[in-house]
Amino acid sequence: SQTIHQWPATLVQPVGSPLSLECTVEGTSNPNLYWYRQAAGRGLQLLFYSVGIGQISSEVPQNLSASRPQDRQFILSSKKLLLSDSGFYLCAWSAGTAETQYFGPGTRLLVL
Amino acid sequence: AQKVTQAQTEISVVEKEDVTLDCVYETRDTTYYLFWYKQPPSGELVFLIRRNSFDEQNEISGRYSWNFQKSTSSFNFTITASQVVDSAVYFCALSEGWDSGYSTLTFGKGTMLLVSP
Which has the higher per-residue pLDDT, B21 or B98? B21
A92 → chain B, closest CA residue: B45
**pLDDT at res. B97:** 67
Given a cut of 70, is residue A20 above it in pLDDT?
yes
pLDDT tens profile A68-99: 999 999 999 999 999 999 999 999 999 877 67
Residue B97: in which H helix or E strand, if any?
A: none
Lowest mean pLDDT among A90-94, B78-82, B101-105: B101-105
Q: Do B44 and A104 touch (CB under 8 A)?
A: yes
pLDDT band for A112, please (50, 70, 90 cuts): very high
Query: What are B16-75's pLDDT values in tens digits?
Result: 999 999 999 999 888 889 999 999 998 999 999 999 898 888 888 899 999 999 999 999
Secondary structure (DSSP) of A30-56: S-EEEEEEE-TTS-EEEEEEEEETTEE
pLDDT for residue A61: 64
Of A41, A92, A106, the CB nearest to B109: A41
**CB contact B2 to A (< 8 Å):** no
pLDDT (tens digit per residue) in A24-62:
999 999 999 999 999 876 789 899 989 899 899 888 767
Name every chain B residue with its beta carbon within 8 A of the beta carbon of A59: 104
Closest partner residue to A46 (CB to CB) among B33, B91, B104 is B104
A9 — contact with chain B (CB < 8 Å)? Answer: no
Look at residue A66 and tell me whether its pLDDT is greater than 90: yes
Distance of CA B95 to the CA centre of its chain: 13
Is B110 touching A (CB cutoff 8 A)? yes
The band of A102, judged by pLDDT with boundaries at 50, 70 and 90, is very high
A88 contacts in B (CB within 8 Å)? 43
Q: Return the exposure string of A25-38: e unless at least 16 CB atoms fall within 10 Å of the residue's CB, then b.
A: beebeebbbbbbbb
> Which residues 44-63 on chain A approach chain B with CB closer than 8 angstroms?
44, 46, 59
